[in-house]
Amino acid sequence: MSERRPFIRPQPRYWWAHKPYLSYTLRELSGVAVAAYGAILLAGLICLWRGPDAYAVYRQILASDWSFLVHLILLAAVLWHVVTWFQILPKTMPKLILRGRQLPQRQVTAMALLFAVVCSATLLIVVVAMGAMS
Amino acid sequence: MKPIDHTSPKRSVAPVFWLLFGAGGMLSALFGPALIILTGFMIPHGWGLPANFGDFPHMLAFACHPIGKLVVLVVIALFFWHGAERMFLTLKDMRAGKPLVLRLITYGLAGVLTLVTASILLAIGF
């Protein structure tokens, strides 16, 4: 009796740390950065709930050099998330047909990126305007 | 050929998590950079904003307003769900554990933190 012995391609244990999968791993890690930023906001909310003293400590930490560095890393990771997110967008959405021609994926990505820049810039401008008026 | 059984379709809960993942991904892609610049740099260091912009009374007023509450809940919860889905899929691909265990850890954490956020927003009051 011969048993079925299918060929299973061997895969190194740490395949995700090597090219070409490394870029995939880095993209997925940007999700951790997004969640970590959410945790920083939640920490602020908890301090706000606990009272002025706890909130003062939170503000002190946020004004520190360490917080500056952490936010710099988070910003870089989220910018990477923005770019990769809109690179995936044309692959997941229905084809855009314009005058009988399919809109190239790059163009969809570029338009979405432009929209993201407008969204973020608008938010910043609105908040700065609110601050100036208060 | 077997006839398709319409009476008992196998429904998956995956679309729910994909929706949360997608919503969090889109929100963080569109407004994430501005939010980090605001709360990480401009407010703590007073760049371009009045010094009292992020102080206790102002932030408390924001967290007490219904719209402010909604903004805070949506941003924090969706960011957690986005990270949870990404971590779950990546850990599954890394074969870090059984999918059910990984789901419980990642979705569980996002679920608990969502509940914590909602409870604190309620505890802060209106």
* B33:A59 CB<8 A: no
Q: What is the pLDDT of residue B6?
A: 63
- Please write down the HEC assignment for all residues of A14-66: CHHHCCCHHHHHHHHHHHHHHHHHHHHHHHHHHHHHHCHHHHHHHHHHHCCHH
The answer to whether the CB atoms of A35 and B84 lie below 8 A apart is yes
- Distance to chain B for A38, nearest Cα, Å: 5
From A96's Cα to the closest Cα of chain B, the distance in A is 19
Q: pTM here?
A: 0.91
Q: For residue A2, is it left (φ>0), alpha (ψ between -120 and 50) or beta? A: beta
Q: What is the CATH number of domain A15-133?
A: 1.20.1300.10
pLDDT at position A116 over 70: yes
What are A102's strand-pairing partners?
A97
A98 membership: H or E segment, kind and range: strand A97-98
Q: How does pLDDT run across A37-87, given as a tens digit for each residue?
A: 999 999 999 999 999 999 999 999 999 999 999 999 999 999 999 999 999
Break chain A into its structural domains and give their ranges. Answer: 15-133
Q: What is the pLDDT of residues B35-70, one digit of tens each?
A: 999 999 999 999 999 988 989 999 999 999 999 999
Q: How far apart are CA A19 and CA A25, in angstroms?
A: 10
CB of B26 within 8 Å of a chain A CB? The answer is: yes
- pLDDT of A94 reads 86
B76 touches chain A (CB under 8 A): yes
Nearest to B123 by CA among A44, A54, A45: A45
pLDDT for res B20: 95
Domains within chain B, CATH numbers bracketed:
16-124 (1.20.1300.10)
**A102 secondary structure, DSSP code:** E
pLDDT bracket for residue B4 (50, 70, 90): low
Q: What is the mean pLDDT of residues A95-99?
A: 85
Could you tell me if A16 lies within 8 Å of chain B, comparing CB atoms?
Answer: yes
pLDDT of residue A47: 97
- Contact (CB<8Å) B84/A81: no
Of the two residues B5 and A115, the one the predictor is more confident about is A115
> pLDDT at residue B79 above 90?
yes
Mean per-residue pLDDT for B11-28? Answer: 92
Among the partner-chain residues B50, B56, B76, the one whose CB lies closest to the CB of A55 is B56
Mean pLDDT over A3-11 rounds to 86
3-class SS at A97? strand
Interface contact A31, partner B, CB < 8 A: yes
- Note the maximum CA span of chain B: 72
Q: Is A133 on the interface with B (CB under 8 A)?
A: no
Question: Which residues have CB under 8 Å from A47's CB, separation 6+?
Answer: A54, A55, A57, A58
The arithmetic mean of pLDDT across residues A78-99, rounded, is 92
